[in-house]
Amino acid sequence: MNSLYVIKIGGNIIDDPAELESFLKDFSQLEGYKILVHGGGKIATKLAKDLGIESELIEGRRVTDAESLKVVAMVYAGLINKNIVASLQSNNCNAIGLAGADGNIIQAVKRPLKTIADGRQIDYGFVGDLDDSSVDSEAIHKLLNAGFVPVFSAITHDGQGQLLNTNADTIASVIAVSMSGYYQTSLVYCFEKNGVLRDVDDETSIIKSIDPVKYKELKEDGVIHSGMIPKLDNAFEAISKGLNEVCIGRADALPELKQKTFGTRLKSKE
């Protein structure tokens, strides 16, 4: 079985042109099969503001109305995606930029109304949720086999002609799980820290490797807490569904992936 890396980058890298350029160079040099998933960053927020489109936040989650959807489709699937692809091509990486509608590769379901704490029913608008059957892994396999490096923006569709805004972390995870039937697949989350840290203020305190037993201990000891718990819960769920490993670390440490010294590695067994 060949190995495959599914690498996700977020807004903090996209918003820094020099860091993005450097990351894309490293990504280009990574040998073997690979897929890039990118989030949005502040460009969409700024464009919405310049156009006078106000985006509503409910319990920290953004509501995507029709006008906001146009903005994210333009910025994520157009501006950011095509600039990333052009940059990868200039680094001899045969990138092909995709949204979920392309080749019907990621079909989502529009998020149903949700009841929040105060009893209100909330419509998050044009937001797409994914499940294990959302990704057409055969289509991705065909593209990889044809020599392309897929680069996904976080725009999906519902199969009925409607584009949907979807969380990039989730896209990366669902793609990685779906590809694990074809490849020994690693999911890599690039974020602003060196990895999962023993001490959040000490970037040298990286926990090199975590399996489910150790994860349970680290939670009980209070070492892993708050925002990291849903992230790691998701990661271990993906591993339980057949993913080889999940790596979490800084984008500029990507060259260390092959040396297995990149950030924190989550595996089913240490």
Ligand-binding site membership of 147 (annotated): no
Contact 100, 152 (CB under 8 A): yes
Give me the DSSP letters along 99-138: -TTGGG-BB-EEPPPEE-TTS-EE--BSBEE--TTSB-HH
Q: Answer yes or no whether residue 161 interacts with its own copies by CB under 8 A.
A: yes
Query: Considering only 33-41, 78-86, 182-190, 192-200, which stretch makes contact with its own copies by CB under 8 A?
Result: 78-86
> Rounded to the nearest whole angstrom, what is the least distance from the CB of residue 142 to its own copies in the complex?
5
Task: Give the one residue of 82, 110, 214, 231 binding its own copies; rule: CB under 8 A.
Answer: 82
> Rounded to the nearest whole angstrom, what is the least distance from the CB of residue 51 to its own copies in the complex?
6
> Rounded to the nearest whole angstrom, what is the least distance from the CB of residue 5 to its own copies in the complex?
19
Task: Give the one residue of 23, 27, 76, 126 binding its own copies; rule: CB under 8 A.
Answer: 76
x/- string (CB under 8 A) for its own copies, residues 87-126?
Answer: x-xx---xxxxxx-xxxx----------------------
Q: Cβ closer to its own copies: 140 or 232?
A: 140
Going 179 to 180 to 182 to 184, the CA torsion angle's sign is: positive
Q: Cβ closer to its own copies: 145 or 268?
A: 145
Give the phi and the psi of residue 211 in degrees, each rounded to 5. -115, 175
Q: Answer yes or no whether residue 70 interacts with its own copies by CB under 8 A.
A: yes
Rounded-to-5 percentages of helix, strand, coil across the chain: 40, 25, 35
Beta strands 184-191; 3-9: pairing state: parallel
Neighbouring-strand partners of residue 249? 190
Contact 84, 36 (CB under 8 A): yes
> Rounded to the nearest whole angstrom, what is the least distance from the CB of residue 153 to its own copies in the complex?
8
Q: Which residues line the annotated binding site for substrate? A: 40-41, 62, 165
